[in-house]
Amino acid sequence: MGSGPWWGLTAARARGARALAARWPAYFVAFDVLQLDGEELLQRPYAERRALLEALST
């Protein structure tokens, strides 16, 4: 495990974060993909980027 003067504070924050996450879970909603496999997609139409994004989730 960790040691040093900050370890206790860090561990307490981690426990607090887990408790908060259990009470108020966070959700991630992706609505666009701007880069894929190192390729920038910003110049592509939104509909094409959206189709790529949907393909990633299947």
Digit-coded pLDDT (tens) for 10-50: 666 777 778 888 888 888 898 999 999 999 999 999 999 99
Amino acid of residue 21: A
Helix, strand or coil, per DSSP, at residue 26: coil
Amino acid of residue 51: A
Is this model's pTM higher than 0.95 or not?
no
**Is-contact 1 8, C-beta < 8 A?**
no
